Amino acid sequence: MAGSGPAEQVVVAGYARTPFGRFGGALRGVRLPVLGAVAVRAAVARSGVEPAAVAELAVGVNFPGSERSVARQVQLRSGIPEDRSAYTVDRACCSSLAAVALASRGLRLGDTAVAVAGGVDNLSRVPYFLETARFGSRLGDLQLTDQLVVACPHSGVPRAVQAAVEAGQYGVDRVEQDEWAVRSQERYQLALAAGRLDAELVPVDAPDAEGGPVLLDRDEVPRPRTTLAALSALPTVNGSTTVTAGNAPDLSSGASALVLTSGAWAREQRVPVRAQLSGFAMASGDPQQIASMPARAARLALRRAGLDLSGVDLLEVNEAFAAVPLVTTLELADRDQHRAEHLRERTNVGGGAIAVGHPTGATAGRLVMTLVSQLTARGGGTGLVTICGGVGEAEAVVVRVG
């Protein structure tokens, strides 16, 4: 496979994701390499690309738990030849989009022609840590550490507190966040009924409580009967003033994968092109900014793609909390409420992580394929994915269909 030359176009040839399982649900016993391989095998099969053509595999993982070399293990289980490169990427919730961006660099430079990128996490399998046990404790109690009390590793401030504080700075109150959560659930159900998730999902065999097989073929997380009244009655969590279990996503499990090729290779091999990717952007800033940081990455991605918001048909802004798309759209609209409402009409049109779930390492890959599916249903267009993660960080990419 000869290189395609500098600045080569990156295209999506195929994609797949597992259903996203709820915390403690059907996927709780499935190891990361097993879950990741399900998505990779399906994405490669759906692309029409032979596994032997894949030169590189990048897998985003945020909570590896006791696993090591996750990407390499996924590769060896997915039919990609063992002499190909595989690497694991950790950029918190941005991980699978970082994996896509890193794999795309080889394609753009002509170093590779075909790559697979995505992510996997199973938050139900995240262990407690006993950090002082190795060298013993002569007297006193030993303390377990739980990573799932999600807080900034730099400041120690819970993410839910960070989201609520920044929402308040933008005038986004609890009612707006609950309303957005209901909207997410409702729009997910409409997308599901319209069959717009069919192109994404691949079933997973998961063991039940007795060890027998259970086929999970749809997302476990959605709550179609969610009402504003029910959400308004929920208590806030982790010291936050506005964030609840209802306007934040589940601690989920799942995997996503996308097959990427250079545009030249796709044309030569007559591989169907689902979408084109451009404007890859990473952004960083104040570690306390979680809700507005996706806007910074979005502006950078649009500039690199030679676009502005007027050229964007649909947006996917990850619902790390309901506050995030609300604040991000306000920031993109320069805090103009009227303009922000117009942006929100085309944001997360099929629902978001509050409804579908948020297996952190896999979510960004899901956002890309969801946007491709939604744009395809419209007959084509241009979209933007942006997601917060890490310590005041975010990532974005521009997606074109047709």
Per residue, the 3-state secondary structure of 119-133, as one string, reads EEEEHHHCCCECCCC
1 band by pLDDT with thresholds 50, 70 and 90: very low
Look at residues 43, 46, 66, 50 and name the one whose alpha carbon lies nearest to residue 58. 43
Q: What is the pLDDT of residue 7?
A: 63
Tokens found for residue 31: 């190891």
List pLDDT tens digits, range 309-349. Answer: 999 999 999 999 999 999 999 999 999 999 999 999 999 99
Whether residue 2 has pLDDT greater than 70: no
- CATH number for 159-195+277-401 (one of 3.40.190.10, 3.40.50.9100, 3.40.109.10, 3.40.47.10): it is 3.40.47.10
DSSP string, 209-262: TTS-EEEE-S-S---TT--HHHHHTSPB-TT-SS-BSSSS----EEEEEEEEEE
Q: What are phi and psi of 204, to 5 degrees?
A: -125, 135
Bigger pLDDT: 146 vs 320: 320
DSSP string, 7-42: T--EEEEEEEEPPPBPTTSTTTT--HHHHHHHHHHH
SS3 label, residue 386: strand
209 band by pLDDT with thresholds 50, 70 and 90: low
Mean pLDDT score, 204-211: 80
Whether residue 32 has pLDDT greater than 50: yes
Rounded (to 5) percent helix, strand, coil in the chain = 35, 20, 40
> Could you give the angle at the alpha carbon of 192 between the alpha carbons of 229 and 343, nearest 5°?
70
212 band by pLDDT with thresholds 50, 70 and 90: confident
- Mean pLDDT for the chain? 94
Question: Can you give the pTM of this predicted structure?
Answer: 0.95
Whether residue 210 has pLDDT greater than 80: no
Residue 23, classified by CB atoms within 10 Å of its CB into exposed (0-12), middle (13-18) or buried (19+), is: middle
Q: So which residues are the catalytic ones?
A: 93, 358, 388
Mean pLDDT score, 281-297: 96
Q: What is the pLDDT of residue 3?
A: 43
CB atoms closer than 10 angstroms to residue 52: 11
List pLDDT tens digits, range 5-18. Answer: 446 899 999 999 99
Q: What is the pLDDT of residue 139?
A: 81
Residue 259, classified by CB atoms within 10 Å of its CB into exposed (0-12), middle (13-18) or buried (19+), is: buried
Whether residue 82 has pLDDT greater than 60: yes
134 band by pLDDT with thresholds 50, 70 and 90: confident
CA atoms within 13 A on the CB side of 142: 12
